[in-house]
Structure 1
Amino acid sequence: MAGRRDRFQQFSERGIVIAILVGIIIGCVCTILLPNDFFNSGSSKVGPGSGESPEQVKMLKSEFAIISEKNAELSKQVRELTEKVLLAEEGTVIKAGPFGTVTGLRTNPTVVPDESVNPRLAKLLEKVAVNKEIIVVLANSNVKPMLEVQIASVKRVGIQNYMVVPLDDSIEGFCKSNEVAYYKRDPDKAVDDVGKSGSGLAVSGLKFRVLREFLQLGYGVLLSDVDIVFLQNPFGHLYRDSDVESMSDGHDNNTAYGFNDVFDDPTMGQSRYVYTARIWVFNSGFFYLRPTLPSIELLDRVTDTLSKSGGWDQAVFNEHLFYPSHPGYTGLHASKRVMDIYEFMNSRFLFKTVRKNQELKKLKPVIVHVNYHRDKLIRMQAAVDFYVNGKQDALDSFSDGTIE
């Protein structure tokens, strides 16, 4: 019975479309053949004996030419609609093209913006966002010195679409006094308690909950931790061809973009070698999300896992991005892109490799993220001295890693 009803519904929908097409065709024909009688049955016909002057006949011929041109355009539209109906009847089957020409869909459609989710945030984003995109930073008083360095870098570069989500009153006051756009969330005890007094790890996990409303409102979000210095405007360096575009914790092309890693088990004899595909994790402190369903599902999954099981938000972030579907688990179908490690540079790459290479030192990254080191503030300041103030030895005194 269900199948019969579906077929009846499909037949009815096709019937309606075909009826509309037939109506358009009849209207076009009548407009051309009976330009006067169709709309004004009481008017006299045009002809040699109708008393029309040569000027009027010429004008009517001109009108007829215009109508004929419009009819040609309508006919084209009718053909296009007919083709769509035929495709619908065939089940929209897509045929594969010649070898080397076939590509799958990579960019999911954006969600329909829903301002009812948060009208106050929607009005604020209309003023601050640029091209429906925004940088979002969560901060409390514990990270205020780093936030000051970051905001100074944002203003220096001239980034307009930058917004802080203050997690306590002190940061809200700081944003007001420094004319920095901010969004103070509605009271939420569970979130506010963590935001005001929680550790950096706990605060980091809040961002997945907070970002959801930005995506629902139809905005692309570039999430940034506070231990990041902006040296160029990042929006000019995004591809926007994936749901998630993230910087990497990798320190070279292999670790950032993927490589074959051979597992060796001598007890297996001739089958001792197993090839595995590896990639170093996406960094959950700097990533761009397009406003798509997979992006929102990612936020929901990470938030749900952290609320139920806890853990490190970056590990959970990567598990949901990369774990495939398997028995008992349905994987996330989100498209992914790794940012250029020479442009979006982590501090391991900077201090272990870049500062020791004279050619790499000439490159100016888009950002420097001091994610690998605990002495974050002084390394952020050193990056500013090196890349902005031209102090060539600003990075030299630091160790490769953090000295305990």
Structure 2
Amino acid sequence: MSSSFLHQRQQQQQLLSNPSPTSPRSLLNQQRSTISLFSRTGLLLLLSLMVVLGVFFPWIGVFSGFGSNQSSDLKWREYTLAEAVSFVGKNNGSVIVCAVSQPYLPFLSNWLISVSRQKHQENVLVIAEDYATLYKVNRKWPGHAVLVPPAPDAQTAHKFGSQGFFNFTSRRPRHLLNILELGYSVMYNDVDMVWLKDPFPYLQGYHDVYFTDDMTAVKPLNHSSDLPAPGKKGRTYICSCMIFLRPTSGAKRVLKKWIEELQLQPWSKKAKSNDQPGFNWALNKTAGEVDLYLLPQAAFPSGGLYFKNETWVQETKGLHVIIHNNYITGFDKKIKRFHDFGLWLVDDHALESPLGRL
């Protein structure tokens, strides 16, 4: 046998006697030849590795980001009302709620700017009425939006007087009742509102339900806080767009009656109802059992009063707290009216909203 053959045989025996070498280095040391980094073969291997990394590495980030968004969306899809309320109400036991579908996102941002100026934005919970809104809000402001299934038809939910709008607004008392059952006080606002001052100091005493008058007739500054007398239709004209409820049996009784009234008076082509008449019937029918409180008109005027009675606005200047842009329909008309009165904040102050620029 040649000496080279004997040397190879010895190497094979060493490998068999130690099948699991402690490191690759120990194997390499046993080889008679190595590949130098600067050899032709080494340079080719290095170049190939660089090409592979250059082609495939950028895609790793893309797929990672794609998977991350999907995971985030799934997380918020499974986010429950109880979890959301616990998150936003952890500081003071109160939750500020609005219900929003995608077409109203600019109004949501405008309203949030005004709420943020009063330092109450962290207590806001957006009840998203479609998944696009749920994901949009939670990506920009994690934890502050929740969807309570099933989601209503997003295409018709924003058209006042439509069945979709009725289906959208009729969910409101159920949402509020669920929050009260969790033990939290809750303020509801429509997002076509603007806060000029902090409304919480006006929630005096410990009443069950606080609400605002929707009438345009001027009341004296020291008007009664009792439920007003019924109007021509046999019921009051209280606005269902600004309500504050404490987690009491009385407030829960009003909400249950409201739900019942909406079931008794469903939407039809003849009676294109919304949630507000049902709320008024609920107040009227429980008035003797529940502690109700009418908020001051000068602080919480209807849009029909604030935007149409310039004399009254001047006489009550400095007293206004929340302005409601009602008594008008249509996105463009509402935005123009806000513009005309200096209340459309999104254009110049978008970064004050927790959502930033949408």
Which of 298, 317, 326 is equivalent to 1:371? 326
SS for the counterpart of 1:253 is: coil
Question: Kindly tell me: are residues 250 and 179 of structure 1, through their superposed partners in 2, closer, same or farther at Cα, counting changes over 3 Å?
Answer: same
Q: What is the CA–CA distance in structure 2 between the aligned matches of 1:260 and 1:307, rounded to whole Å?
A: 25
Q: What is the CA–CA distance in structure 2 between the aligned matches of 1:358 and 1:295, rounded to whole Å?
A: 32
Q: TM-score, normalised by structure 1?
A: 0.54
RMSD of Structure 2 on Structure 1 (CA)? 3.5
1:138 offset after TM fit, Å? 0.4
Amino acid aligned to 2:193: I
Which of 125, 128, 133 is equivalent to 2:88? 128
SS for the counterpart of 1:362 is: coil
Question: Kindly tell me: are residues 260 and 363 of structure 1, through their superposed partners in 2, closer, same or farther at Cα, counting changes over 3 Å?
Answer: closer
Matches within 5 A, 1:5-404: 120-129=80-89, 130-159=91-120, 160-179=122-141, 181-188=143-150, 192-194=151-153, 197-198=156-157, 199-251=164-216, 252-253=218-219, 257=224, 281-310=237-266, 311-323=273-285, 333-353=289-309, 355-357=310-312, 359-360=314-315, 362-374=317-329, 375-385=333-343
Amino acid aligned to 1:150: W
Amino acid aligned to 1:370: N
Q: What is the CA–CA distance in structure 2 between the aligned matches of 1:196 and 1:219, rounded to whole Å?
A: 32
Q: Please say if residues 113 and 345 of structure 2, whose CA atoms lie closer than 8 Å, have aligned partners that are also in contact.
A: no
Q: What is the CA–CA distance in structure 2 between the aligned matches of 1:184 and 1:145, rounded to whole Å?
A: 18
Query: Counterpart in 2 of 1:66?
Result: none
Amino acid aligned to 2:334: K
Question: Kindly tell me: are residues 357 and 285 of structure 1, through their superposed partners in 2, closer, same or farther at Cα, counting changes over 3 Å?
Answer: closer
Larger Rg: 2
Q: Please say if residues 368 and 383 of structure 1, whose CA atoms lie closer than 8 Å, have aligned partners that are also in contact.
A: no
1:137 offset after TM fit, Å? 0.3
Gapped regions of structure 1 (runs ≥ 5)? 1-117, 264-275, 325-330, 390-404
What percentage of aligned pairs have identical amino acids? 23
Amino acid aligned to 1:380: F
Q: Please say if residues 284 and 317 of structure 1, whose CA atoms lie closer than 8 Å, have aligned partners that are also in contact.
A: yes
Q: What is the CA–CA distance in structure 2 between the aligned matches of 1:281 and 1:358, rounded to whole Å?
A: 21
Moved more, 130-139 or 192-201: 192-201
Question: Kindly tell me: are residues 127 and 384 of structure 1, through their superposed partners in 2, closer, same or farther at Cα, counting changes over 3 Å?
Answer: farther
1:281 offset after TM fit, Å? 1.8
Moved more, 247-256 or 168-177: 247-256
1:370 offset after TM fit, Å? 1.0
Question: Kindly tell me: are residues 122 and 358 of structure 1, through their superposed partners in 2, closer, same or farther at Cα, counting changes over 3 Å?
Answer: closer
1:220 offset after TM fit, Å? 0.7
Deviation track 1:347-389 (CA, whole Å, cap 9, x = no partner) reads 1111232x33574363252110112122222223444449999
Q: TM-score, normalised by structure 2?
A: 0.60
1:241 offset after TM fit, Å? 2.5
Amino acid aligned to 1:237: Y
Gapped regions of structure 2 (runs ≥ 5)? 1-77, 158-163, 267-272, 348-358
Query: Counterpart in 1 of 2:66?
Result: none
SS for the counterpart of 2:170 is: helix
SS for the counterpart of 2:171 is: helix
SS for the counterpart of 1:345 is: coil
Query: Counterpart in 2 of 1:30?
Result: none
